[in-house]
Structure 1
Amino acid sequence: MEGFVQHYHVAIVGSGFAGTILARVLNQVGLRVILLERHRHPRFAIGESSTPLAAIAMERLARRYGLADLGWLAAYGRWMEHIPHVRRGLKRGFTFYQHRRGELFQDTPEHDGRLLVAASPSDEVADTHWLREDVDAFLVQRATGEGVDYRDQVDVDRVHHAAPNDWVLECRRGESRYALRADVLIDGSGAGGLLATTLSIGSRLECTTLDTGVVYAHVEGAGPFADVSAGPYPDEKAAVHHLLREGWMYVLPFDHAVASVGILLRRDALEHLAASGVTSPEAVWETVVGRYPSLARQFASASAVQPLRGESRVQRWRANAAGPDYAMLPHTYAFLDPMFSMGIAWSLRGVERLALVLEGALRDDALDGSAIASGFQRYAGMLDAEAQQMARLLEGAHLAMDDFELFTAQSFLYFVTVTYREVEERLFPEGREGAAPAWGGFLGAGNAAWENLLEESRQRLGRLSGGRDEAATERARRVFVEWIARAIREHNVAGLADPARRNLYPVDFDVLVERAGLLGMTGDELRAKLHLLRG
Structure 2
Amino acid sequence: MNPPESSEHPWDVVIIGGGPAGSSAATTLAQAGRKVLVLEKEKFPRFHIGESLLPYNRQVYEELGVWEKISQAGFMRKKGAQFLLGDGTRKVRLDFSKGSFTEFPEAVQVERAKFDNILLTHSQECGAEVRQESLVQDLQVDADGVAVKYRDKEGASHQVKAKFLIDASGLSNFTANRENRRTYYAEHKKIAIFNHFAGVDMPQGEEYGDILVIRRNNSWFWMIPLEDDKVSVGLVMDRGDFQALGQEPRQVFEEAVRTTPAVQERFTKVAPPASVHVATDFSYRNNSLVSDRVIRAGDASGFIDPVFSSGVLLATTSGRQAGLVADEAIKLGESMTPAMQAYETDTRNRIGQYWQFIERFYTQPFAQLFFQPSNRFKMMCSINAVLAGCTRLPFHVRMRLRLFFGLVWLHKKFGIAEQIPIK
Instruction: Tell me which residue corresponds to 1:83.
Output: 73
Distance 1:33 1:417 in 2: 38
In the alignment, is the contact (CA less than 8 A) between 2:249 and 2:278 conserved in 1?
A: yes
Instruction: Tell me which residue corresponds to 1:117.
Output: 94
In the alignment, is the contact (CA less than 8 A) between 1:220 and 1:305 conserved in 2?
A: no
Q: Which of 207, 220, 226 in structure 1 is aligned with 2:198?
A: 220
In the alignment, is the contact (CA less than 8 A) between 1:346 and 1:442 conserved in 2?
A: no
Q: Which amino acid aligns with 1:322?
A: V
Q: Which amino acid aligns with 1:115?
A: V
Give the TM-score normalised by structure 2: 0.85
Q: Which of 67, 81, 90 in structure 2 is aligned with 1:94?
A: 81
Cα offset for 1:191? 0.8
Q: Judging changes above 3 Å, is the alpha-carbon distance between structure 1 residues 462 and 125 closer, same or farther for their aligned structure 2 residues?
A: closer
Deviations 1:121-178 (A, max 9, x none): 7xx96310121100111222233334321111111111122x1351111111122111
In the alignment, is the contact (CA less than 8 A) between 1:171 and 1:177 conserved in 2?
A: yes
Alignment of 1:39-188 (within 5 A): 39-59=42-62, 61-62=63-64, 67=65, 69-73=66-70, 79=71, 82-84=72-74, 88-100=75-87, 105=88, 113-120=90-97, 126-161=106-141, 163-164=142-143, 166-173=145-152, 174-188=154-168
Deviations 1:98-134 (A, max 9, x none): 123xxxx35xxxxxx111111137xx96310121100
Unaligned runs of 5+ in 2: 99-103
Distance 1:422 1:125 in 2: 9
In the alignment, is the contact (CA less than 8 A) between 2:79 and 2:105 conserved in 1?
A: no
Higher helix share: 1
Q: Which amino acid aligns with 1:23?
A: A
Q: Judging changes above 3 Å, is the alpha-carbon distance between structure 1 residues 401 and 133 closer, same or farther for their aligned structure 2 residues?
A: farther
Deviations 1:359-385 (A, max 9, x none): 33443xxx6215x52211111112223
Alignment of 1:470-485 (within 5 A): 472-473=414-415, 476-477=416-417
- Does residue 241 (structure 1) correspond to residue 241 (structure 2)? The answer is no
Q: Judging changes above 3 Å, is the alpha-carbon distance between structure 1 residues 267 and 220 closer, same or farther for their aligned structure 2 residues?
A: same
Q: Which amino acid aligns with 1:169?
A: V
Cα offset for 1:284? 1.2
In the alignment, is the contact (CA less than 8 A) between 1:397 and 1:410 conserved in 2?
A: no
Kindly report the root-mean-square deviation, in angstroms, between the aligned alpha carbons of the 2 structures.
3.4
Distance 1:267 1:153 in 2: 32
Unaligned runs of 5+ in 1: 74-78, 107-112, 424-440, 480-535
- Does residue 416 (structure 1) correspond to residue 395 (structure 2)? The answer is no
Q: Which SS does the other structure have where 1:120 is aligned?
A: helix
Q: Which SS does the other structure have where 1:264 is aligned?
A: strand
Instruction: Tell me which residue corresponds to 1:25.
Output: 28
Q: Which SS does the other structure have where 1:42 is aligned?
A: coil
Q: Which SS does the other structure have where 2:109 is aligned?
A: strand
- Does residue 275 (structure 1) correspond to residue 252 (structure 2)? The answer is no
Instruction: Tell me which residue corresponds to 2:101.
Output: none
When structure 1 is superposed on structure 2, of 409-418 and 8-17 the one drifting more is 409-418
Q: Which SS does the other structure have where 2:265 is aligned?
A: helix
Larger-Rg structure: 1
Instruction: Tell me which residue corresponds to 1:292.
Output: 260
Deviations 1:246-270 (A, max 9, x none): 3111111012421111111134532
Which structure has the higher relative contact order (CA within 8 Å, separation 6+)?
2
Distance 1:381 1:142 in 2: 28
Instruction: Tell me which residue corresponds to 2:4.
Output: 3
Give the TM-score normalised by structure 1: 0.68
Q: Judging changes above 3 Å, is the alpha-carbon distance between structure 1 residues 305 and 180 closer, same or farther for their aligned structure 2 residues?
A: farther
Q: Which SS does the other structure have where 2:59 is aligned?
A: helix
Distance 1:132 1:284 in 2: 25
In the alignment, is the contact (CA less than 8 A) between 1:93 and 1:116 conserved in 2?
A: yes
In the alignment, is the contact (CA less than 8 A) between 2:86 and 2:261 conserved in 1?
A: no
Instruction: Tell me which residue corresponds to 1:329.
Output: 297
In the alignment, is the contact (CA less than 8 A) between 2:200 and 2:270 conserved in 1?
A: yes
Q: Which SS does the other structure have where 2:146 is aligned?
A: strand
Q: Which amino acid aligns with 2:385?
A: T
